[in-house]
Structure 1
Amino acid sequence: MTGNVLLAARMAAAGLQQQELADALNRRIEEFTGRLGTVSDRQVRNWLTGKTRSPRARQRRALEEEFGCPAEELGFAPSASGSTDQAQPAPPEDPVRRRTFASTAAALAAAAVLPPAPATAAPRVGMTDADRLETAFAQLVAADNQYGGTISLETRALAFAHHAMELQSVGQATQRVRARLYYLAAAFTGTALWSAVDAHQPERAQRHLDRAMTLAGLSGNPEVTLRLWGHAAVLATQQQHHQHALAAALAGRASAACRRDPLYRFLASARLAGIQAGLGEQLAALRTLEHATDAFDRADHSAPRPAWMGFYDRSELDGLGALVMARIGEHDKSEAYLHRTLSRLRPEYTRNRIYYSAHLALAQLRQDDVEQACLTAASVLPASSGDSLTGRTGRLLDTFTRELSTTAPRARFTIEWTDQYASRQGGHP
C-alpha cells in the first residue's frame, strides 16, 4: 500500500515511474559527488510504502534537487542531526515548478482518506476499499465542478489513481474487484486529464490521456472510455489537431455506452456537433445537435450513473448548443442559449458559470454590443489579482480583449476594460 502519498503524488505529477526516479536521482548524485548513485527501484518502492522513512543524506539531497522542495514536503522524516554526510540545502523552488507539482496540503487531503499500510504481506482487497475510492472520486468531481482545473486537484487525482494501482499490485482480490480498481484508476487519471485540459496544459494532459486509456481498456468499462474520448476530443482541439478531435468524438458516439443509454448518446453527439461546427460543417453540426437534443429528451434522468455524469443536465445541453452556434457564426442564437444555460446552472457549478459568462461576453461583442459585453466580461474577472481563472477561461478573456480592441479601439468601455483587465490578468494561469 502507499504509505508515502506525498512522494507518490509528486512522482505521478511528474510522470515518473519507480525506476525512472531512481535513474534521475543517480544522475543527480553523480553531479555533486562525481560518482553515479546507487538508488534502486526497490529503494524507491520502500520510500513509497513507508518502509523507509528517511533516505540517506546523498539521496535526500538528490530528491530535494529533483523535485525542488524540502524532503519533508515529500513525506520524509526530518534528517537526523549529527549526520556525517549532511545534504546541502535545497535550492529555492521556482514558482513555475511549484505550479507544476502539488502542494503539501493537496497531497495530505488525498492521504487522509487512504487506508494505512497493512501489516500482512498480501492483504485482502475488497469492495470496501473500492467504495472508499469511489467516495473520494465523487468529492474530486464536485471540487472540479466548483473550482475547475487546478494543479492541486490534478495531483490529488493522480495520487488516488496511484493508490488504486498499488491495491492491484500488493493485494489479493477477485477479478470483479480488480476490474473496478482499474476503472477507478482510469477515472481518477481522467479527472487529472481534464484538470490539465481545463488549465490548458496539453503536454501534461496528453500523458494522462495515454495512461487513462490503458487503464480504461483493462477495466472493460465502456462509460469511462466514453468520458476519455470526450476529453481526448477537447484536448485535440486545443492542440489544433482537428481531424484527431473529430475521430475521437466519432469513437465516443460509437461506444457501447451510447448504444445502451440515450444520456451518454446526448453527450457524445453534442461534443461531436461542436467539433463539426469548428470544421465548418454547418449542416452536419446542426443535424447532430438536433440528435443530441432528442437523445437528451429520451433519457431516463433518474437512472443511476457515475458521479461525473451528474454534470450533464439541461443547462449543459444549452451550453454545448451555444458553442455550436458560436462556431457557425450564429452569435445571436449563441447568446440565447447562453442566457438559458446561466439561468439553469446549479449554484455549485461555479467553474462553468464563469466559463459560459466569458462566452456570453464574446457573443455580445460579436453582435457589436460593446457596453454590455464589457459589463459581462467584468463579471468574470477574479476579485483580486491573487485569485485565478482556469486556463480555458483566461484564454477566452484574452480573445475578448483582442477582439474588443479591433471592434471599438477608442471607445470608453474599451479603455476601461483594458485597464481593468491589465490589473487583474496576472491572476489566471
Structure 2
Amino acid sequence: MGENAALRRRMLELELSQAELAHRVNIETENRTGRYGTCTIRTVRDWLNGKTGWPHEKQRLALEAVFECTAEELGFTPRGASRPASPPEEDVRRRTFVTSGPTAAAAAAVPSLSNRTTIGSSDVLRLRAGLETLDALDDHQGGHAALERAALAGARQVLDTQQNGSASERVRRRLFSVAADFVAVAAWSCIDARDLDRAEQHLDTCMRLAGLAQDTTAQFRAWNSVAMLAHQRHRHSEAVAAAQAAQAVGITRRDPFFASLAHARTAIGHSNLENRQAALRSIGLAADALGRSRDMPRPSWIAFYGLAELHALTAIVRYRLGDSEQAEGASHQALAMLPEQFRRNRALATIRLALAQLHQGDMELATATAGSVFGLMDGAPLPGRMRTLLGDFHRDLLTLSANAPAAREWADRFRTEWSQS
C-alpha cells in the first residue's frame, strides 16, 4: 500500500510529531477504557507509510477523536474495501465558529472555538486574522476605548481556546503569542489615549504572555510599548532601558528592520535626557539598520514603520535637541512619504512640524499647519496623545506671543475644535 498522505497532511496542520500523535492517541484510549494505550512511534510510522491500512478499533476510535473526523477521512480504508486512487479532499468538518465580543471588529474577526476542539495551525491563523482589523482601525483613528475593549475580547477568546482545546505544544505557544498581540493592541490603545495606568497593567500581562509564547517578536512589541509608556510618563532613563531591552531580543538579530525601530526609540530617550551625542548616534544606527533590511512578511502591527516613520522619529529627536530647522526638514520628509492610511501618524507629524515652525519664529505658518490637523482627523475624536501635542503647541504659541493676530485666531479655533473633539 502507498503512503497515507491524508494523515500526514492532518499531522502537519496540527503540527503533531509522530511521538506527540502516539501520546495523544494513548491519552484518548485511556479516556475511553481507563488504561493508557499502546500506540508507539512505530505504530504511527506504519500508518504513514501505508503498512497499516486500517488501525484496530481502539486506536481507530482514538485517532478519530484526536482529529475530529472519520478514519476514512484520515486516509484509512476498511478491510475488504478498495482504496481510492487519490486521497480524499481536505474536509476537516470544522466546528462552527461562534463570534462574540463588545465590538463589531472583535465579533467579526475572532472566532471562539468550542470545548474539546483539536486546534491546529489554520485555527491559529483564523484567530490572528482579527489583529489586522484592529491594527487598521488604530492606524486610521488612533487609540480609543472601543479598540481597547475589542482587543481584550480577542485576547480572552484566544486564551479560552488555549485552555479548552487540544493542541500540540507548538500550537499552544502560538496561541499565547496571539493573545499577547491582542493585549499589546489594548496596551497601545491606552498609551495613545494617555490612559497610562491601564496601559501599564496591560503591558504586564502582555510581557507574561509573550514569555509563555517564547516569541521574541511579541517580546519586542512589548518592550517597544514599555519605552513609549515611559516616555509618556517622563521616565526617560527607563525609556532608554526599555528600548535597549528591545534591541537585545532575538528578532532584532535576525531582522534589522526591528533593530532600526529599537534604535530610534533609544534615540528619543537619549534626546529627552539631553544626551546629544548618544541620541544622534542611535538615530544614525536606526537609519543604517533600516538600510540593511529586506522586504519580507512581518506582523501587521509594525506596518507603520519604515523610512517615513523614521523621518518622523528623527524630527522628534531633533526637536528635543533644540534643532528646530532640522526637525522641520525631517517632518516634511515624513509627510511626503507617509501612506494615506496612516491618518493618525500623519496628524501627529503635522503637529510636530507646526512646533518646529513655531520655534523658528514663523507664527503664521505654524498656526496654519497646526490648524490643518483638525481637517486631517475629519471630525474623529482626537486621541489623548494628539490632544497633548496640540496643547503643547497652544501653550508655546501663547507664551511666545499671545497678542499676535495669528495667535488670537488660533486660540479661537483651538477652543472650538477642542470642545467638539
Q: Structure 2-normalised TM-score?
A: 0.74
Match for 2:361: what amino acid? D
The 3 A distance-change label for structure 1 pair 117 and 126 is: closer
* CA 271–197 in structure 1, closer or farther in 2 if over 3 Å, else same: same
Match of 2:414 in 1: 421
Partner of 1:54: none
Partner of 2:239: 245
Partner Cα separation in structure 2 for residue 320 and residue 116 of structure 1: 39
How far apart, in 2, do the equivalents of 1:249 and 1:135 lie? Answer: 28
Q: CA deviation at 1:408?
A: 1.2
- Residues 385 and 427, structure 1, Cα contact 8 Å, conserved in 2: no
Percentage identity across aligned positions?
39
- Matched with 1:350 is 343
Give the whole-Å Cα distance in 1 for the aligned partners of 2:157 and 2:260.
33
- Counterpart residue identity of residue 416, structure 1: E
Contact 2:105–2:130 under 8 Å retained in 1: no
How many residue pairs match? The answer is 322
Match of residue 194 from structure 2:
200
> How far does the alpha carbon of each residue in 1:327-352 deviate from its partner, in whole angstroms, 9 at most, with x for none?
10001000000000001000101010
2:271–2:279 CA contact under 8 A, matched in 1: yes
Shift of 1:151: 1.0
1:26-425 equivalent positions in 2, closer than 5 A:
106-115=102-111, 118=114, 121-300=115-294, 302-381=295-374, 387-425=380-418
Cα distance in structure 1, aligned partners of 2:324 and 2:261? 22
Distance in 2 between the 1:108 and 1:366 partners? 44
Q: Distance in 1 between matches of 2:102 and 2:367?
A: 36
Deviation of 1:296 after TM superposition, in Å, equals: 0.6
**Tell me, what secondary structure is at the counterpart of 1:112?**
helix
Q: CA deviation at 1:117?
A: 5.4
| Structure number with bigger Rg | 2
Separation (CA, whole Å) in 1 of partners of 2:249 and 2:363: 43
What are the Cα deviations for residues 111-143 of structure 1, in whole angstroms up to 9, with x where unaligned?
A: 23343553xx41112222211122111111111
Secondary structure, counterpart of 1:381 in structure 2: helix
Show structure 1 runs of 5+ residues with no match: 1-103
- Check whether the contact 2:110–2:129 (CA below 8 A) recurs between aligned residues: no
Moved more, 304-313 or 210-219: 304-313
CA distance in 1, matches of 2:375, 2:359: 23
Over residues 392-428 of structure 1, what are the superposed CA-to-partner deviations in whole Å (9 max), with x where a residue is unaligned? 1111111111111111111001000001111110244
8 A Cα contact 1:382 1:427, kept in partner = no
| 1:275–1:111 CA distance, 2 compared to 1 (3 A) | same
Partner SS, residue 125 of structure 1 = coil
Q: Secondary structure at the match of 1:234?
A: helix
- Change in CA separation of 1:383 and 1:221 when aligned onto 2, cut-off 3 Å: closer
Distance 2:407 2:279 in 1: 34
| Superposition CA RMSD, Å | 1.7
C-alpha distance in structure 2 between counterparts of 1:149 and 1:106, whole Å: 16
Displacement after TM superposition at 1:105 (Å): 8.8
Q: Bigger shift: 143-152 or 380-389?
A: 380-389
Report the secondary structure of 2:153's partner residue. helix
Post-superposition offset of 1:106: 5.0
Q: Amino acid of the residue matched to residue 324 of structure 1?
A: V
For 2:315, give the aligned amino acid: A
